[in-house]
Amino acid sequence: MAERHRRGSLLVRLLGLSVVISVLSISATAWLAVRDTTRALQQERGRALADDARIYDALLGHAATHRDWTDVLPLVRSLAATTERRVVLTDRNRAPIAASGEGALPQRASATVDPLDVDTSLAATAGRGGIDARATGPYQLPDAERTALRKMAERARDCLRGPVDVATAVPMIAAEGLLPAYTDAEIVVAPGGRPRIESRGTAVTGDIRCAKAFDALAEPTPTERRALGQLDDLVNTCLGRQRMPAVRADLDGQWTPTRADPITAEQRDDVNGCVSEARRTQMADYVAPPVLLFVTEPGTPAPVGAFDLTPANRLRIFGVAGLVLLVAVGVTVLVGVRLVRPLHALTAAAGRMRNGDTAARVRVSGRDEIARLGNAFNEMAEQRCRVEQLRRDMVGDIAHEMRTPVTNIRGWLEAAEDGVVELDVGLVSSLLDEALLLQHVIEDLQDLAAADAGELKLHRRQVEVPELLQEVADAFAPAAESAGVALVVDATPGTLSADPIRLRQAIGNLITNAIRHTPANGRVTISSRTGGVHAEIVVADTGPGIPEEQRGLVFERFWRAEKSRNRQMGGSGLGLAIVRKIAESHGGTAEVSGTAGAGAVFTLRLPNPSGQTDRRRGSVPLACRP
């Protein structure tokens, strides 16, 4: 059997196929292509890095000038066409935003496109605080301010280009020939619309001959003053949390203290951190959110110019490659037909599961790696379905049950706070009742959660049934007397192998439910039958009973006979669900019978395997079973 398992192993088959193909291909082509292939890979790598940087910079520019990615698809397709790469954008959860082609994504993204945190290794557009210089946000100037600044810039440029009046310009500096000439001064407009003067590629921030023109050009516009005011508020809020003096930021990314208080070198780092964080916060609403960028090859084409061989060598390569291809295809077809079929079935099942089919499973045959993969997939699907079903049920139930008491508590507290009602003893008592109800729901949910997770462990021992029933009845006697209900115990002598604490909890829940639904002068009878293989504990009342069409819902969580699901009768709606879980954990059942108008009869039917311990796990929801 072990020998047969080794022969049928997928690993053995793949290794055999790999050896056949490798021997043929390596011996025939390795000596022809090593050097040229290495050179081609180096060229391809350089091209790929350049393309990556180009794609990243283009998408970064889009993010810096748009609030979202809704219209990025044309740009993605254009970049893919020009670089011959596959470009895909996803959010941080890898949900697709725009893609130039289909295919699986690599585990690791090529880069994160975030205009507020530029990767300087891929783009040279990082400005102050690592923010892309093309992101202008609230600093974007309207046309009127652009026109006014343009005129100021033209006056400054013309002043720089004009003749130097040595007699009036600072004679000492002029005489020493220290006044530079700016005959090539030009106006360059920043992305936000603010112009600046450059000479030989270097910004000119001022000149003693043209001080007035440069001072007017440097003055912030109303739009920029508003943006700087917002920035100062954000920066000083950050500094205030650290108990540091306030500062004022300017358009050049610098800052100055607003008071004469000195700022130490250690504090400067904190101030710079607050300024950078404030700029990112200010720009966040004006740029697109961060996305993941995946740049991959759409196929495996040979790079242009990768090989430089003679026609004879090319013919030899094609001939050997053709022969290797024929042999490889023949061997691969023989082995691959059997390998692909179960993988297709596994892929289809995974697709159905992704689309919400919780019953998606694969048929498993054989004992190789694919069969073990199929079994692992089925087990994973079963576990996922169970967890998802439990999560949905629990979340829905908790939200429904806790909404009413929380709303009541909040409403009365808000009314008391507003002075609409007085927070007297009666109101406090009412709020306490609601809080106790919440506590009761939470405790019941803990029991159910333990049962669902298979953590409801039992500690069995031999229990005297009449004694146990009398103890439970004595505990509930005051409640029955207060409700005007007679509580009668009619138990036959006998023992039962069970967890006495959990059994007392289940019987107590049934008695509580019976007293709650039995009118005054009614009766609740607790009886038992312990003979035979099964023991039965019965709680019967003389209440209105349960219609036959509703009996299948009695043990569901949060189910109530009243359609309004009100709590006038009390209870969390979880007691009977806990009863069923306790019965199932003992290997038994919980049932309800009776007729409408003539009372309800609840029966716990438990096996009595003397001396055994049962730590049974919770059952699998029916929806998970294929």
Mean pLDDT of the chain: 77
Terminal Cα-to-Cα distance of the chain (whole angstroms): 32
Q: What CA–CA distance (Å, rounded) separates 318 from 313?
A: 9
Q: Are residues 172 and 188 in the same domain?
A: yes
At 136, phi and psi to the nearest 5?
-105, -30
Q: Are residues 112 and 165 in the same domain?
A: no
pLDDT tens digits, one per residue of 283-317: 888 989 999 999 888 754 444 444 445 566 667 76
pLDDT tens digits, one per residue of 348-389: 888 887 777 777 777 777 777 778 888 888 888 888 787 777
Q: Are residues 87 and 22 in the same domain?
A: yes
pLDDT of residue 142: 92
Q: Are residues 497 and 591 in the same domain?
A: yes
Q: What is the mean pLDDT of residues 101-129?
A: 83
Tokens standing for residue 619: 């059952």
The number of folded domains in the chain is: 5
pLDDT of residue 41: 54
Q: What CA–CA distance (Å, rounded) separates 543 from 546?
A: 9
Q: Are residues 506 and 599 in the same domain?
A: yes
Q: Does residue 446 fall inside a structural domain?
A: no
Residue-wise burial string across 454-491, b where 16 or more C-beta atoms lie within 10 A, e elsewhere:
eebebebeebbbbebbeebbeebeeebeeeebebebeb
Q: Does residue 245 fall inside a structural domain?
A: yes
| Residue ranges making up the domain that contains 566 | 456-620
Q: What CA–CA distance (Å, rounded) separates 22 from 9?
A: 20
Q: Does residue 89 fall inside a structural domain?
A: yes
Instruction: Say whether 477 sits in a helix, a strand or coil.
Output: helix
Q: Are residues 569 and 607 in the same domain?
A: yes
Residue-wise burial string across 334-348, b where 16 or more C-beta atoms lie within 10 A, e elsewhere:
eeeeebeebeebbee
Q: Pick from 256, 278, 296: which residue ends a domain?
A: 296
Contact between 590 and 583 under an 8 Å Cβ cutoff? The reply is yes
Q: Are residues 589 and 480 in the same domain?
A: yes
Q: Are residues 84 and 124 in the same domain?
A: yes
Q: Does residue 279 fall inside a structural domain?
A: yes
Using pLDDT thresholds of 50, 70 and 90, give the confidence band for residue 64. confident
Q: Pick from 219, 236, 269: which residue ends a domain?
A: 219
Q: Does residue 374 fall inside a structural domain?
A: no
Instruction: Check which CATH number belongs to the domain holding 585 and give it.
Output: 3.30.565.10
Q: Pick from 239, 263, 296: which residue ends a domain?
A: 296
Q: Are residues 103 and 211 in the same domain?
A: no
Q: Are residues 538 and 515 in the same domain?
A: yes
Q: Does residue 16 fall inside a structural domain?
A: yes
Q: Does residue 538 fall inside a structural domain?
A: yes
Q: Are residues 526 and 605 in the same domain?
A: yes
pLDDT tens digits, one per residue of 95-107: 999 998 888 888 8
Q: Are residues 150 and 34 in the same domain?
A: no
Q: Does residue 38 fall inside a structural domain?
A: yes
pLDDT tens digits, one per residue of 188-204: 888 888 898 888 878 77
HSE-up of residue 192 (Cα within 13 Å, Cβ side) = 22
